[in-house]
Amino acid sequence: MLFPDYRARRMRMNENLRRMVRETQLDVGDLILPLFAVDGKNVKNPIPSMPGQFQLSINHIVETAEQARGLGIPAIILFGLPPRKDPLATQAYAKDGVVQRAVKAVKDKVPGLTVITDVCLCAYTDHGHCGVVEGQTIDNDASLDLLARTALSHAKSGADMVAPSDMMDGRVAEIREALDEENFSHIPIMSYAAKYCSAYYGPFREAADSAPQFGDRRTYQMDPANAREALREVSMDAEEGADIVMVKPALAYLDIICRIKEEFDLPVAAYNVSGEYAMIKAAAERGWLDGPKVMLETLTAIKRAGADMILTYFALEAAQLLNSH
């Protein structure tokens, strides 16, 4: 049918019609809130490049987790800032590490909220890389044991799901095996499967104090120019036992989300990363664009591209808006 028999505007005439034909519904149930846990009591350090985000001591993590649950957000993902760093990231898998204690506190005080932990070494190593450093290179296989130990210690602390973000080859299988051996076969793995080497992580590295002290992450994170390689990464992680596969960042990689959604039957997560958050906040602060509207448009676009869930620093704000509609 062609104009004038077909008129696309007919179904846009009022909000009722627009609602009825709307193809994508952003839902509070899609959102996962990232939080940064730090030692101390009553600490709430603002992160300058991420307005509205803070490094939080455990009492504030619990408070924010309560707020998230109250708004209907199903899950948080925890990152940790350890009191000290060393070459082998010992605080990443310490029994009384900050993430381990934060998990326990949230599971204890905010039952019903799903607690995911980011599994990586970069915030815990003195060199800031996501794996073990040998000379000037990152030793893949030597990193696997430490990553598995980290995931296991999170599970022992009560984590509901673990999310490896290191991009070492073979880590999903190693983590799956470590969890299964210790009776954690019920704990799912959300794998950062297609994680690109992105400058959009800039604000996060300030927030988590996790910038590499030499070199960069290009030998383990993906080249932004590659799409087919992302499918390969996802199929490897799927075969190793990933329960959810993630694309990260989200906005510059909507094509990757779309292709992965089409080609695989696993749930797809997308990480709306720190730089994506910072850009919107910065422009909104200057009055250059309407922050809340751009936020909802962005999250809807990520969902439309194929994401089943979205990790986003906007989670609380977006949930408030969605609940008020």
Which residues within the stretch 85-104 sit at the binding site for Zn ion (CB under 5 A)?
Answer: none
Binding to Zn ion by residue 138, rule CB under 5 A?
A: no
Give the nearer residue to Zn ion in terms of CB position, either 93 or 319.
Answer: 93
* Residues β-bridged to residue 162: 117, 189
Among Zn ion, ligand PBG, none, the one that 273 touches (CB under a kind-dependent 5 to 8 A) is ligand PBG
Distance, first Cα to last Cα, the chain: 35
- The three-state secondary structure class of 134 is strand
| CA pair distance 232, 215, nearest whole angstrom | 26
Residues 6+ apart with CB under 8 A from 212: 122, 127, 128, 129
Total residues contacting Zn ion by CB under 5 A comes to 3
Helical segments of 53-191, H only: 58-71, 98-109, 140-157, 171-181
CB of 146 vs Zn ion, minimal distance in Å = 12
Give the nearer residue to Zn ion in terms of CB position, either 121 or 178.
Answer: 121
CB of 123 vs ligand PBG, minimal distance in Å = 7
Binding to ligand PBG by residue 122, rule CB under 6 A?
A: yes
Are the CB atoms for 59 and 97 separated by under 8 Å?
no
Which residues within the stretch 102-121 sit at the binding site for Zn ion (CB under 5 A)?
Answer: 120
Residues 6+ apart with CB under 8 A from 261: 268, 305, 306, 307
The residue annotated as part of the active site, out of 85, 107, 248, 303, is 248
Binding to ligand PBG by residue 274, rule CB under 6 A?
A: yes
The residue annotated as part of the active site, out of 85, 107, 195, 303, is 195
Binding to Zn ion by residue 122, rule CB under 5 A?
A: yes
Q: Which of 54, 124, 196, 204 binds ligand PBG (CB under 6 A)?
A: 204
Q: Which of 113, 130, 155, 256 binds Zn ion (CB under 5 A)?
A: 130
Tell me whether residue 248 is one of the annotated catalytic residues. yes
| CA pair distance 319, 170, nearest whole angstrom | 36
Tell me whether residue 156 is one of the annotated catalytic residues. no
Among ligand PBG, Zn ion, none, the one that 201 touches (CB under a kind-dependent 5 to 8 A) is ligand PBG
CB of 122 vs Zn ion, minimal distance in Å = 3
Binding to ligand PBG by residue 33, rule CB under 6 A?
A: no
Are the CB atoms for 199 and 275 separated by under 8 Å?
yes
- CA dist 110 to 75, 122, 152, 179, Å? 11, 28, 22, 24
Other beta carbons less than 10 A from residue 6's beta carbon? 8
Which residues are at the interface with ligand PBG (CB under 6 A)? 118, 120, 122, 130, 165-166, 201, 204-205, 210, 217, 273-274
Q: Which residues are catalytic?
A: 195, 248
